[in-house]
Amino acid sequence: MTKIICVVNDEVKEGSDLKKEHGVSFWIEMQHSNVLFDTGQSPEVLSHNLNLLGLSPINIDALVFSHAHYDHTGGVAAIIPQRTTIPLYANSDLFRARYSDKDHVHKPIGIAMMESDLSHYFYLKLGEDPAEVKPGLWTTGTIQERPERMGISKHHVIHTQAGWEHDSYQDDISLVLKTATGNVLICGCCHAGILNTLSHAKKVFGDPSIGVIGGTHLISADDQYLDHIIAVFQERYPDCNFYLNHCTGKNAIDRLMEKLGDRIQIFPAGSTIEFPE
C-alpha cells in the first residue's frame, strides 16, 4: 500500500495537537521509500508535525517542490540538518523571483533559498519534463496546455524585461502516483488549473485519475466556474474522488460537496489515505 499523510495544512484534524499554517506538505510512504512533497512555510511547524505524526526527516528518500511559493518551500530548513544528499525535484523555473503586489508594494513570496545554497544540500533535479521520483511516482512536468482557467491570485507578479507581469506559474507541477486501481494526482496549489492538470496527467500517463489530493486553488473561483468544473468532473472523471485542502477554499469545497456528495472530502493535516500499489 502507498500511504499519503497530510503533515502541514491550513487546517488540522479536529482534536489534534498538530500546528496549522497557510501551506501544505504531504508525506508519501511507498513500499521501499518515503517522499516529502512540499514543506509548508515554516521549519517549526514542519518539525513539530512530523514529530507528532511519528515521522522523521532521516527517513525521507526524495523531496519534491510543487512550486516556488513560500508556503510550500519555506519549511525546508527542517529537513536540512537531518537529511541531505537526497534528490530534490522541481520545475526549472523554481528560482525565478516571485512577488505579491499589494498597492505597488512588492513582497517576495517565492523560494527564500538560492539555487547555490540548495544545491549544496540536495541533488537538484530541475526540469520541464515528467520525472520518475520513485517507481510509480512521477512529477507531471510543466503543464504546457492550459485551455481552462488557471488557479491564480491577482496579486502574484514577476518582473521581466517588459516590466511587472502577472505570474504565469510555469513552475507549477503536481505528482502522479500510479496505483493498482488507477492514477492519483497530488497537488500543491495547482496554479496551472485543476482541469488543465488533470487533462495533462491523462494525456501523459494514460489512465484518468481516480483520486485528487491537495490544494486546487479554487479559492477565488465563482459559482459559475465551479459548476463548470463539477460538470467536467462528472463527465470526464466519474471514478475520481477528491481529498481537498489548502487553497481550495471553503466556498468551493461546500459547492463541490453539495453537487458531488461523498466524492468530495476534506484532507486536513493529520489525515491519511492509502492506495494499493
Please provide the DSSP assignment of 187-239 as one string: ESS-TT-HHHHHHHHHHHHSSPEEEEEEE---TT--HHHHHHHHHHHHHH-TT
The residue count for the chain: 277
Q: Considering the complex, state which of residue 70 and residue 122 has its C-beta at the smaller distance from Fe ion.
A: 70
- Residue 33 Cα distances to 5, 30, 141, angstroms: 14, 5, 21
Q: Considering the complex, state which of residue 30 and residue 252 has its C-beta at the smaller distance from Fe ion.
A: 252
Only segment of 28-36, 94-102, 126-134, 242-250 that touches Fe ion (CB under 5 A): 242-250
- Residue 66 Cα distances to 15, 111, 170, 219, angstroms: 29, 11, 11, 18
Smallest gap from residue 191 Cβ to Fe ion (A): 6
Does residue 64 contact residue 35 with C-beta atoms inside 8 Å? yes
Binding flags for Fe ion, 3-42, as an x/- string (CB under 5 A):
----------------------------------------
263 binds Fe ion (CB under 5 A): no
Q: Considering the complex, state which of residue 211 and residue 214 has its C-beta at the smaller distance from Fe ion.
A: 214
171 binds Fe ion (CB under 5 A): no
C-alpha cell at 217: 486553488
C-alpha to C-alpha distance for 269 and 26, rounded to whole angstroms = 9
Report DSSP state, residue 131: -
Q: What angle do CA 198, 143, 73 make, to 5 degrees?
A: 100
69 binds Fe ion (CB under 5 A): yes
Smallest gap from residue 99 Cβ to Fe ion (A): 13
Smallest gap from residue 136 Cβ to Fe ion (A): 25
189 binds Fe ion (CB under 5 A): yes
Q: Considering the complex, state which of residue 30 and residue 175 has its C-beta at the smaller distance from Fe ion.
A: 175
Q: Considering the complex, state which of residue 78 and residue 189 has its C-beta at the smaller distance from Fe ion.
A: 189
User: Would you tell me which residues interact with Fe ion (CB under 5 A)?
Assistant: 69, 71, 189, 247
